[in-house]
Each structure stands twice: as C-alpha cells, then as structure tokens.
Chain A
Amino acid sequence: MSYKTEELLAVCIARLIRARPTRHIAVGAASPIPAAAAWLCVKQGDPLHLSLLHKRSGNPFTDGSRELFDLTGQGRIDLFFLGGGQIDGQANINLIGTGPWPGLEVRFPGSFGSAFMYYMSGRTILFREEHSPRVFVDRVDHISAPGTSEPGVFRRGHAQALVTGRCVFDFHPDRGRFSLASYHAGESVESIRAMTGFDFDVPEGVAETVPPSDAELALLRGAVCDEMLETYPDFCARVFERKAAA
C-alpha cells in the first residue's frame, strides 16, 4: 500500500513509544504527527494514558496550565515531544531565534515549557519534519533547553530519538551524540550527511526505515483519524483525505 510521509513518521514514532515502557504521554501544541503516533499505539491496544494539551474537549487538567508542569515535576509524564527552530548534534534545542540574543535575526515564538519538560519528563522524542542544514546545526545559536546536563543538576530523562522527514536518529546521552537509526525510502547515509549540519555516528548495517504495514495504515486512516478530526482538521484533510461531518 502506498503511504504519505506523515504516515511513515507517525509509525516511526509509534515504534519509539513502544520501545520502552510507557504509561502516560503528553502531546503539546503543533504536534499532529506525534498525536497520531500516540493514538496509533492506543488503537493497537497499548494501555496508554494520553494528555493531549490542545484538544478542545477532553482537556485533562482542572488546575490551570500549571498542573501539567506540576505533575511532570513529580515524574508522572513518561514521554513528551519537543521540536526546535534549530536542533544541534548534542540534542540542544533552540526555540528562541537566530542572531544575537533574544533572536534579533529571526525570532521564534519562545521556549514555552521546554526548559523544564526536557529535564523532567521520563524521556523526550524530538521531532522536526524539515530536515535541512538550516534546522540541524552543529551548534544552536541559543539553548532553550540543553540535551544533557552537568552532574548535580536533577534530570529525569533525555532525548530518546530525533525523528525527521528524512530519517530517525537515536540519541546517546552518555556521549552526547546522535547515531543514525534508519533512513527513509529515497535517502541514504550520504544524503542524510549532506542535509545535516551536525556530525553523527553511523552504526554498521544501518538500513532503510521499515515502511508502515497495511494494518497500521488502516488504523491511521480509520480509528486514529476519527480521534484527530476535531483537533487537527487540516491535517486529517491533507493526510487522510477526510473531513469532519458538518
């Protein structure tokens, strides 16, 4: 069955979710693909609790937006997703901007909760569809949240992986480096190197990303899309070619 890039990325993220024990996932604002991945796991029978922070109905919090941070501080969020205007080879993320502080060249919206969630979640999957040397740089201009922390700084988790429109990288906090886990169809180790501004490791035998199965695609286009229509109507129309009933 043919598939769209978004569907492949959702399946990649779902595999990463399932790779480790996970009870509670929080998905933030601009994240339809991670949301689809989390729903895919649920529809495949994983007993996950999802907190979808920008869902119009089903907002789980009753103590204001601080409740998310308070419960993450306690270690009640196993997995969170973060992106970045820039992401570097040490998994530092930059949501501030480029040029002199505070982003006088190109200003991004700001760091949101990243300078807390990245440390306090059990783990984080980094996600950025655009895979270019503009985004994946050797060193970010400004660190909204660091990829690793010095001894003496409480840190519950790190990046697990970085999923892009071209490949999946694993992150190794012990050595502060990414390694290529797989490249998507049409890419190669060389093409990934050419489009990535940071250096990374390439394990022996690295191969093409396993495509989505027919069963996964059927779930994404059916039960997962049903759950996402209300919150991400444009995404569902574009990727799954479905519109909410009027």
Chain B
Amino acid sequence: MTPISLEAMAASIPDGAMVAVPPDNSIPSVALAKALIRRRARGLRLVGVPISGFATDILIGAGCVAEVNTSAVTLGEAGFAPRFSAALKAGTLTVRDATCPAMHTMLQAAEKGVPFMPLRGLIGSDILANRPDWVVIESPFGTGEKITLLPALHPDVAVFHAVMADSAGNVWVGRRRECATIAHASQRSLVTVERVVEGNFLEDERLCPGAINATYISGIAIAERGAQPSALLDEYGFDTDYVMQYARAAKTEAGFAEWCAEHVFDNQAVAAE
C-alpha cells in the first residue's frame, strides 16, 4: 500500500461523514484532525470510542462538526473541553450522550454483522431516556429481565494513528485494540503512521496480536508525531503542557482562532511532509 499525503487523506473524507475517533489515551490522529480543519471540513458526525478528547475539541472549535456521539468529551487533567461546551451552549452542535460500553457494543454489533446487540445497565438513566434509537425489551428467553438493544453503528470512516505500517499495508497499534474495533466496524479506515517498515507483521507472532490486517485499511499517510499531544504507546508521552496551554487559549472563540492560526495553519508545510 503506497502512502498518500495527509492533505489527500483529509480531502477524501467528505463533508457530513460519520467519523470514528479514539480518545486521547488511545492514539487518535491529531495530524489528520488538523488536516481536516485546514481543508475546512463541515458537518462531520464524530463517534467517540468510547469518549472524545483533544482532537474532537479542535474540530468542533473550527466549525467542522455537526454532531458528536460519545460518552464524554474531556481534556482529562486540563479540564472540560472548552469548544465543545461553547458549541453546545450556542446550539451549533448536537451531542448524543452514551455510556462507554454502549459505544463499544454498537461497534461490536457492526463487527459481527448483526443488526443490534443487548447491553445491561442503562435502564433508569436519562441517557437512555434521550436515545430514541435504543430500545428496551423483555428478554425473549423467559427470564423476565428488561434489557436494552443497541443498533449496530457503521461509521463511514475510522481515523486513528498507528506506530507503523508494513509493506503489506498492515498497521500496528499494540494493545490499543479499540482501534481495531473501529477499523472492523467502519466502511473505510484512514490511518496516519510514524513510519513504514519492510516486512509483514502478520508473519511475526509477537507483532501480529497488535496488528490490524490490511483488509480493513483504506489509506495510510506518514505523519511523524501524528498523535501529539496525545501519547503514542511507549514512543512518546502525553504533552500535558501543550493541552493546558490549548485549554487556556480555547476558552474564548478569539483565543481558539489565534491558537488555530498558529498550531494548525502555520505548521501546514511541516505537517504535510
């Protein structure tokens, strides 16, 4: 699989697409999120698996997002996600609140190719009360248990970062297997990687459990330090200072615009390499 450019990858995601993204602790592609902002994407429907973080907040701040389907949007230690909160208040964003295992369950149903799957919990919460797409039934097996059915969720595109891709187009994410879940459940998967290496991960017993098979991968782009400020497994750590600085700047729309001009648009040449 020949790598494409980051900008070409961003251009291949149409406005209005449903895009699944992992959270800050699970190798999101911040590089591709920034490229989507540069291409001025609009109306994206983000799926946080199972929660959303920095990449989601900057996409919302830049006006790229119409809807978020997630269990939370947070900057972790840096606090509440400022552009998410502002967009909700302004009425420019729809949030479909969920609970973490519900996000996984809907994607697992898609992985299995079944139309829905049951999940316990949920009943009596206002999350369920606000999800007309989730249905409570009584167990058909005669136990009398009430249980919720969740529809399969098929995102148009899964977007994440990986440590490396191999000659065959397999990508390696280590233990961050939720990236595999979204790759399996989505129509296409676009993956940024630190590097491309010779060989085939699937032929190596130590690498194959952390690999995602090229069958699920639609495109690869090289983006060094592409998860930053999120951590990349044991390759680099979470950049708390960067996110703290963002959280302060993004408190206001003007502050966000300034941050964006500096960190998203000025670095275009570097990021596109």
Contact = CB atoms under 8 A, between A and B. Distances in A.
Which residue, of B104, B121, B144, B176, has the highest number of chain A Cβ atoms within 10 A?
Answer: B121
Interface in A108-147: 108-120, 142-146
A96 B104 contact: no
Nearest to B181: A64
A2 interface: no
A101 interface: yes
A117 B102 CA distance: 12
Interface string B126-160: 11101000000010000011110000000000000
A59 B177 CA distance: 13
B71 A113 contact: yes
Interface stretch (A7-15, A150-158, A182-190): A150-158
A211 interface: no
Which residue, of A65, A96, A153, A154, has the highest number of chain B Cβ atoms within 10 A?
Answer: A65
B5 interface: no
Nearest to A101: B130
Nearest to A150: B124
Interface string A56-96: 10010111111101100100000000000000000000011
Interface in B177-193: 177-181
Interface residues of A, number: 44
A8 to B, nearest CB: 24
A97 to B, nearest CB: 9
Contact of B175 (A62, A73, A107): A62
Given A64-B176, A69-B104, A102-B88, A112 B71 contact: yes
Interface in B111-135: 119-128, 130
A84 B178 CA distance: 26
Interface residues on B, range: 35 or more
A37 B85 CA distance: 33
Interface string B78-102: 0011001100110000010111111
Nearest to B127: A115
A191 interface: no
B51 interface: yes
Given A64-B176, A65-B104, A65-B178, A109 B81 contact: yes
Given A64-B178, A69-B104, A146-B124, A111 B97 contact: yes
A119 B126 CA distance: 15
B108 interface: yes
A43 B130 CA distance: 44
Contacts of A20: none
Interface string A180-203: 000000000000000000000000
A113 B123 contact: no
B78 to A, nearest CB: 11
B108 A66 contact: yes
A113 B98 CA distance: 9
A110 B51 contact: yes
Nearest to A54: B25
B29 interface: no
Given A59-B175, A96-B97, A110-B51, A149 B26 contact: no
Given A102-B130, A110-B70, A110-B97, A120 B121 contact: yes
Contacts of B226: none
A111 B127 contact: yes
A29 interface: yes
A215 to B, nearest CB: 32
Interface string B44-87: 00000011000000000000000000111110100011001100
B89 A144 contact: no
B130 A152 contact: no
A124 to B, nearest CB: 12
A104 interface: yes
A107 B101 CA distance: 21
B101 A116 contact: yes
A230 to B, nearest CB: 11
Interface of B: 25-26, 50-51, 70-74, 76, 80-81, 84-85, 88-89, 95, 97-102, 104, 108, 119-128, 130, 138, 144-147, 175-181, 209, 237
Given A101-B126, A111-B97, A152-B138, 10 more contacts: A54-B25, A65-B104, A66-B177, A102-B95, A109-B80, A110-B51, A112-B50, A112-B99, A143-B125, A154-B147
30 contacts: A54-B25, A59-B175, A61-B175, A63-B177, A64-B104, A65-B50, A65-B104, A66-B177, A66-B181, A67-B177, A95-B72, A96-B127, A101-B126, A102-B88, A102-B130, A103-B88, A104-B88, A110-B51, A110-B71, A110-B72, A110-B95, A111-B127, A113-B71, A114-B99, A115-B128, A116-B121, A118-B121, A143-B126, A144-B127, A145-B99
